Chain A
């Protein structure tokens, strides 16, 4: 047996139910709120990248970085609006709800909630932002969007990979651009050891400095390392925009190979045993 009051349902033993009695209109209102929040989040997902593509330079990264912040604001506001509508806001109820959530999380949706928690921690730490180039568990790509549960990476071969935030929690990851447009690229050339190294180095420097993709204001280094069966030349340079990294590497590789071969340099045919 139970009695209804405005705050909730008074049960037979005199305790008050956690969940409020909801009228039909209130249920509609709750669904409406959830729908609006979902709609706003969907709009954010479309609008922020759209704006980001229309602003130039580093402003693009700032716009993308704002997206997760706005998303969490919408989610928090929605929860704050829903909480007093659904639950009777007493201390006992709060404890009971948290206890129930704890049990559910502990048994059923532990990983799911861990991912969401990791997503919330991300908002504080911000170790990566949309527009950054990161590598995790061998997957390399540009962070396109950050949700509370997953992040979306766009790989160089144009594939979207969704990685649970939890993965970022317990696996080391590499952020190669760190919130800026700058991203160092390495282009390797393995040459047969018997050659004029300073000439080869100068050729590769001229190749690098004349690439239309290179950020000339950043340092360009040619590292020369003697390997067991070859001499390794690495051009370390930055593209103007991190999105051009593969174009830069391709350009340097093609032109480097062409010029080195024309000038009589020979590429190593023996597989390099030492891992670079």
Chain B
């Protein structure tokens, strides 16, 4: 499929860079919100299961092998997003370097911010200013500040500004000092900040007042997701790929066999994609993970047992000759991690602390929180048990699939979330 043939008026731009104040998360369809509300209410009175990933394990028997999956849903390439960001940034950066030019690029968790900004620095041969160590942050290390002072005279990029501070009374000094240096000198600098850190630092140090502009990319609503998943599917696969609901046989992403249908195709957006966009908060990597989990080789028994009419059988056999059909697990059969009610406020505080720092070293968790070590370890073991966090090289992170639920829960409990 060649998407470049499509009418630009028909399709939204996939990676669109927008000012942060125009950022709006796609909402869940009303019926899904009602279904979830009812489901969650019932779950409150049911003893939580040991693991929320049971169903995913069970259905994995019919799942597509990883090798095929990597061809059908390959890794996300953020090059186009970098190009768009580059074009947008150049509008705001003063070429003569007569004033401070601080542009913030705010990315949600799993947004690919690191990839985008690394590529941006490579494209423009700009400096990347390395992150400080925790010791350098707490001690306001002068050597580190000198290094930054030396580097920022040329156009520079800070990729992970969330790693430049700690939610601690001694954790703000470095970013305050650095931002004041940037603010009071001519410079050209792009600072990448995680959305949770951004929201927190707006309250803590009014970070937004230092920048000329804060940008992000537009979240992927259902229409964009459709283009995105379709493009991914045809990156490595030569055959036309059709995605259908494994229970009803309805098209999730319609085929693009003849051009007369091709234009109309984009107007059709299945409810599955609306649910996917709403649940994933418009974050492509999150939608990508769910999509990979939901693809099946064969349809449900229910669909196979259904007596297909002649036209339908003919269509399927015709389609099988020209394209490959992949079956998508219905949305209501997806088993997403549930945040159990056994979670205490301590657990929520730990989740919130991890998200505000994007990820955190185990030792720092003990240092930052006014909780004893045993209490933290107990909480961490509960969070691991329910698949909410995972550890890589002594660094705690939120798991991809549980992120939307964690965000929802923290929000309903009154914690600060990434709101713009």
Contact = CB atoms under 8 A, between A and B. Distances in A.
Interface stretch (A21-29, A105-113, A211-219): A211-219
9 contacts: A55-B44, A209-B203, A210-B168, A212-B167, A212-B353, A216-B204, A241-B345, A244-B345, A255-B370
A56 B412 contact: yes
Given A56-B413, A181-B414, A216-B203, 5 more contacts: A54-B44, A55-B44, A57-B412, A210-B169, A212-B349
B216 interface: no
A203 B414 contact: no
B414 A54 contact: no
A211 B353 CA distance: 10
Contacts, number: 58
B45 A209 contact: no
A79 interface: no
B415 interface: yes
Interface in B42-100: 44-45
B414 A57 contact: yes
B169 A255 contact: yes
B416 interface: yes
Interface residues of A, number: 26
B280 to A, nearest CB: 22
B169 A212 contact: no
B233 to A, nearest CB: 38
B110 interface: no
Given A212-B349, A212-B353, A216-B203, A259 B169 contact: yes
B169 A203 contact: yes
A212 B413 CA distance: 13
Nearest to B369: A212
SS class, residues of chain B in contact with chain A: loop
B169 A207 contact: yes
B366 interface: no
Of the four ranges (under 10, 10 to 19, 20 to 34, 35 or more), the interface on chain B belongs to 20 to 34
Interface of A: 54-57, 59, 181, 203, 206-207, 209-213, 215-217, 240-241, 244, 247, 250-251, 254-255, 259
Contacts of A259: 169-170
A206 B168 CA distance: 7
B370 A56 contact: no
A206 B349 contact: no
B64 to A, nearest CB: 37
B174 to A, nearest CB: 13
Contact of A54 (B45, B167, B349): B45
B341 interface: yes
B330 interface: no
B44 A251 contact: no
A56 B409 contact: yes
A181 B415 CA distance: 12
B200 interface: yes
Contacts of B368: 210, 212
A27 to B, nearest CB: 39
B204 A240 contact: no
B353 to A, nearest CB: 6
Contacts of A254: 370
Contact of A217 (B203, B369, B413): B203
A54 B370 contact: no
In the A-B complex, the 3 residue pairs with the smallest Cβ-Cβ separation, listed nearest first, are A206-B169, A54-B44, A56-B412
Interface core residue of B368, B409, B412 (most chain A CB under 10 Å): B412
B169 A240 contact: no
Contacts of B167: 210, 212
A57 B413 contact: yes
A251 B416 contact: no
Contacts of B168: 210
A190 B204 CA distance: 25
Nearest to B419: A217
Nearest to A204: B169
A259 B370 CA distance: 14
B90 to A, nearest CB: 35
B121 interface: no
